Chain A
């Protein structure tokens, strides 16, 4: 057992902020209790007096372990055809990649790892912890979403090959083409229940789309600016849930995003881009304060390795700079991110029964620029100490 004593605890859960409290983690790696003055004789005690204790950070959109930044090798963009729903990020991840340890050091304890955005339908994403043994044991959930992409990325891959999609027209067409096939497959499977003759041949790619149509997982969509509006049209047509990943330009669409019943959340970032034309015409992290006010569940991403892990906190700080309350900003890198990736039953807040993923900072993250993570605990085990 591990007992973290006397810290200022930002639970990110129903208990809110506790000015001085203890966190007890059991031998099974789960949180037993968050309360003042917990007694547990057998527990290893960590004194967190004067420190900030918070849940492990959840990065809702990352590619770490799938891009080897030393060699340039990559295993998350299967750019041989624009629809690859049958593949999964899980098969492209090197669990020994140093990005995981760097993430743990910075405070990211779980990353939603997704295929890249070179294809229109990209493949399945999964949630992986930053430390532990095998990839299987570290994978918190697989799949968490089916990844898709709009805009210049798929255009930029296939257009130069004179192949579809060369334009946004082609992107939308490939989206519709895929989900129409999934619907047909769904209908045939339903018929096959009564008439085995009509049961379609098993198709992994279409099965993965079924998870989306049945709303078991959301469609996780790389989209910016006006592409978000195209996406909402498609979500309306096929009735699935979406997460809007990157979402730069959201400040132009507050009403639409807040009123859509299909938006499970906005995963914003990475910041730090110059303004370009078209889909890159706005860099507007100030949108998070307004979206949050309107009840849209928002998270912030590193898009790792595009950004190194600590940049998730820096970006939360940038949201604070534009006027977002700091606790709300920290929600966006913990519980909100966990909710959007469908893992909030396990991670994202310090609550009894949840995973013992805990950080101890020497200052207030996203406010104090010098705040440093002193200790990372994953599943009740100390995996990093400053």
Chain B
């Protein structure tokens, strides 16, 4: 048992108060003032900000970086042999030691969504993982959290450059629509239907059992996806968010998700026009906004918070930004009943900060607890790789 006393608790859903938190068997069992628990390790959090752990819903942690393959294709979430691979499952690529070694928990991150790369039109199924461990299957918070799709230039570069389809947006969207229709019509119950794992996987999206995460770098790509899916009732999450502004009201009307990528990389020509005020307005109207650090395997553990700081600079609402960093990310992954906010019954995924890191660079991680386990205390030596 761990009892955290007198912290300023931000629950991730807009509520802030000075209170205590009791953790047992990996869960938050009680939140309230003046809690007592005999035998519990008591942590004095007076003066500290207690946050839910941050969640990056769309990352490649555990796949790139150390632990990656040294021969063959090093990017194990990037099966570029076939542009239509919805049957693939990212859990088979996840390396527990790979993510653990990155020590992203020491920067306040306690869960990640991991996804196939951006190079296939339908790339495969995503999963949500713990940030510390060895056995990937034990680290699974939830599998099949989403289907990853992409309609960006990356698809054209991966296939068109080999004279394979799709070489153009026409090719991408023809395939996009054809496969959705085929998945809709796929009926494994019918004896005459030939078994097709690809269509069976994509059918989960059409049946709304799984959200569709679509990588889009421009508002035009988002609008094209909205058109291509207009006949379907889907859970849509757009990834990238570059150039999105308040005029894309359809995102709010359809309660879409929007994962805003980190604009810090100046080589990414799409990042420059991100309209945070417009995105925040869409969030107020019903879109679920979260952030991601994903940058083709070169983002560091700091990038997720940096993405959020760009939003904070514009909207000056740190609790709303915190919700985007935690609860909203969990919601997009369908794990909000498990984590993403500090509420009784949920996983004890929380971080003690010396100051609010959304408003001050003086905010440093004092302690990270994930699944009720203390993963990091300030002063723990950071490990390097040799």
Q: Does A369 lie within 8 Å of B309, measured CB to CB?
A: yes
Contact of A70 among B269, B358, B362 (CB under 8 A): B269
Chain A binder among B18-26, B121-129, B292-300, B344-352: B292-300
Q: Which residues of A contact B269 (CB under 8 A)?
A: 69-70
Q: Which residues of A contact B358 (CB under 8 A)?
A: 369
Contact of A274 among B64, B271, B306, B359 (CB under 8 A): B64
Q: Which residues of B contact A276 (CB under 8 A)?
A: 65-66, 385
Q: Does A277 lie within 8 Å of B361, measured CB to CB?
A: no
A76 to chain B, nearest CB (A): 13
The CA-CA distance from A106 to B309 in the complex, in Å, is 15
Given contacts A272-B306, A275-B385, A367-B362, whether A305 and B299 have CB atoms under 8 Å apart is no
Q: Does A272 lie within 8 Å of B302, measured CB to CB?
A: yes
Residue-wise, chain B 99-111 has the 8 Å CB interface mask toward A (1 for contact) of 0011100000000
The CA-CA distance from A322 to B354 in the complex, in Å, is 11
In the complex, A370 has a CB within 8 A of chain B = yes
In the complex, A283 has a CB within 8 A of chain B = yes
Q: Is the interface of B mostly helix, strand, loop or mixed?
A: loop
In the complex, B312 has a CB within 8 A of chain A = yes
The CA-CA distance from A311 to B301 in the complex, in Å, is 15
Chain B binder among A30-38, A80-88, A172-180, A312-320: A312-320
In the complex, B230 has a CB within 8 A of chain A = no
In the complex, B266 has a CB within 8 A of chain A = yes
Residue tally, chain B, CB below 8 Å to A: 39
Residue-wise, chain A 347-370 has the 8 Å CB interface mask toward B (1 for contact) of 000000000000000000011111
Q: Does A369 lie within 8 Å of B359, measured CB to CB?
A: yes
Q: Which residues of B contact A284 (CB under 8 A)?
A: 382
Given contacts A272-B300, A282-B384, whether A367 and B360 have CB atoms under 8 Å apart is yes
Q: Does B300 lie within 8 Å of A271, measured CB to CB?
A: yes
Q: Is the interface of A mostly helix, strand, loop or mixed?
A: loop
Q: Which residues of A contact B297 (CB under 8 A)?
A: 274
Greatest chain A CB density within 10 A among B65, B102, B263, B384 is at B384
In the complex, A307 has a CB within 8 A of chain B = yes
Q: Does B385 lie within 8 Å of A318, measured CB to CB?
A: no
B90 to chain A, nearest CB (A): 17
In the complex, A372 has a CB within 8 A of chain B = yes
The CA-CA distance from A252 to B382 in the complex, in Å, is 12
Contact of A69 among B266, B298, B359 (CB under 8 A): B266
The CA-CA distance from A370 to B363 in the complex, in Å, is 14
Given contacts A281-B384, A282-B384, A308-B265, whether A274 and B102 have CB atoms under 8 Å apart is yes
Give residues 108-124 of A contacting B (CB, 8 Å).
none
Which residues of B approach A to under 8 Å, CB–CB? 64-66, 101-103, 263-269, 271-272, 297-303, 306, 309, 312-313, 316, 357-364, 382, 384-386
What 7 A-B pairs come out closest when comparing CB atoms? Answer: A305-B266, A317-B361, A272-B300, A274-B65, A281-B385, A282-B384, A308-B266
